Chains A and B, each alone.
Chain A
Amino acid sequence: MKILVCISKTPDTTAKIAFTDNNSKFAEAGVQFIVNPYDEWYALVRALELKEAGLATTVSLVTVGLPDADPIIRKALAIGGDDAIRINSDNDDSFYIASQIAAVAKDGGYELVLTGKETIDYNGSSIGGMVAELIDAPYISLAIKLDITGTTATAVREIEGGEETNEITLPVVISCQKGMAEQRIPNMKGIMGARTKPLVVKEPVAVESLTSIVSFDLPPAKAGVKLVSPEHPEELVRLLHEEAKVF
């Protein structure tokens, strides 16, 4: 079984969020970029564990991005993965991106496509579902566990107030979240090896974009915290009841 893991480049979790060009672009100056944590910690590491357990033959990575995404995909290759494909485009419409990934998934005959539960920049949580529809495969969203037996995937997914265990015949698309695996730190051997692993750059397939970002806003600044004396905590309860009216 071949696994395809979708990798996205995102700003570091502690990056300052600011915008340029009349608030139409994310201000990248001075920002460190990382592999989207959900893609890396959960989707990629679980894929590697499945391969190490002899349940997968190869783990391939795919990203949609310009050459500045190469260091990110190399970092993901340093953690593990056999090869990578970069689709050379910087479109931010999720249908466009999903269409590129679906084309790769179809061409490569991947039976398991893993994504993170969302990217920490656009928080779309859309790519997995779109890819599944485009390749006509079942989709398990927000999975916290995944095992493979033969051609059957067993996934535990989050439901409101609990968990549900699903069995699906491959191929399947699964979005991964906390619980799936533990973060791995790449070692020196991995980092050295990643330099020579195949990274194929492909031009995008022609697809229309369905959405476009017009502008960004920052949330209004908080009015500031209203501090209550530790001597009179009951005053906090009064404020929450009478002023904030939350209970």
Chain B
Amino acid sequence: MSVLIFADQTDGQIKKASFEAICYGTAIATQLGMDAEAVVLGTISKEELVALGKYGAKKVHHITDSNLDHFDAQAYTKVIAGIVTATGSKVIVFSNGLTGKAVAPRLSARLKAGLVTGAIALPDTSNGFVVKKSVFSGKAFANVSINTDVKIISLNQNSFPVATTDGAAEVIDATANVDGPKVKITATNKITGEVPLSEAELVVSGGRGLKGPENWALVTELAKLLGAATACSRPVADAHWRPHHEHVGQTGGAVAPNLYFAIGISGAIQHLAGVNRSKVIVVINKDPEAPFFKAADYGIVGDAFEVMPKIIEAVKKLKGVA
């Protein structure tokens, strides 16, 4: 019996959120007296797979097939279900990212295994199997009991600490009959040279208080210095000051970085719904009544046009940038 963690990879690199999922799955395995095992699909070097032992995986089941090199939720689900059956896994862990959101529900329906998405803590196994998850767009938590023998959890990103040891995983080359993908990928368009918002640990975000796109250097310069992703509020995206993929909030993307640095954003409830899982929130706003201050950890009541250049100067000094 084991805890099986799906480790997601792109172009031969395991995604950062999957390391977190492996650490989480390993902690569950320890709790239940089981071993943590990972499953990786598609072409990737053996070193990358062995290295998953550092995060706690004892074994890594690896399936290569040309049909797995392009993502197809249906094909992935069948292959993972096969591994679950072969290993007798009792708990399956995903990261609640784009791949997890496409595959975990399918696997749940296929195996009739109860699913909790957006988990934020280890399960409580003192009386059954109860998982705490984020609900109401981060405004509350639900404790959900999984009532089936096999359980599936997808872990919200940035909610479990990553710890490493010097372990090495045993790699098992498994085989599977993989269906040809029904989904044909005809184009891929990646934004290069920017930190993707969904993976960012630090996010610098601007709102209407910046008055126009010509003033965005205050956001982008700080972001560049910190290696942060840039984001914006809905009115900014709607006015086309910034591209739509930067929009965070209820109807845009949700982020949960270590730092969310908001400049000139008042903090409407819909915006907060997209950012309230951030570990530290900083708000720069000249209106002391801006609702965002109630959700913030640090703030400056002041004019962004006066305050931000000084902050950028101080960060340059800290980072030793001339």
Contacts and interface: CB of A to CB of B under 8 A. Distances in A.
Interface of A: 11, 13-14, 17, 19, 37-38, 41, 93-95, 98, 120-134, 138-142, 154, 158-169, 178-179, 208-219, 222-223, 225-230, 233-234, 236-241, 244, 246-247
Contacts of A179: 244
Given A132-B74, A212-B147, A246-B259, 7 more contacts: A94-B115, A98-B109, A142-B102, A164-B188, A165-B188, A167-B186, A234-B314
A124 B141 CA distance: 12
How many chain B residues sit at the interface, stated as a range, is 35 or more
B298 A226 contact: yes
A41 B196 contact: no
A163 B315 contact: no
Given A222-B294, A233-B307, A139 B189 contact: no
B202 interface: yes
A132 B103 CA distance: 11
Contacts, number: 266
B321 interface: no
Contact of A228 (B102, B199, B251, B299): B299
Nearest to B81: A133
A222 B317 CA distance: 31
B209 interface: no
A237 B315 contact: yes
Given A95-B109, A159-B98, A237-B318, A219 B135 contact: no
Given A41-B251, A95-B115, A133 B105 contact: yes
Interface in B254-307: 258-259, 269-270, 273, 276, 279-280, 282-283, 293-303, 306-307
Interface of B: 10, 15, 72-74, 77, 96-98, 101-110, 112-118, 130, 132-148, 182-191, 194, 196, 198-199, 202, 226, 244, 247, 250-252, 258-259, 269-270, 273, 276, 279-280, 282-283, 293-303, 306-308, 310-311, 313-315, 317-318
A219 B189 contact: no
Contacts of B252: 178
A218 B276 CA distance: 13
A80 B142 CA distance: 34
A217 B294 contact: no
A44 B302 CA distance: 43
Contacts of B293: 225, 227
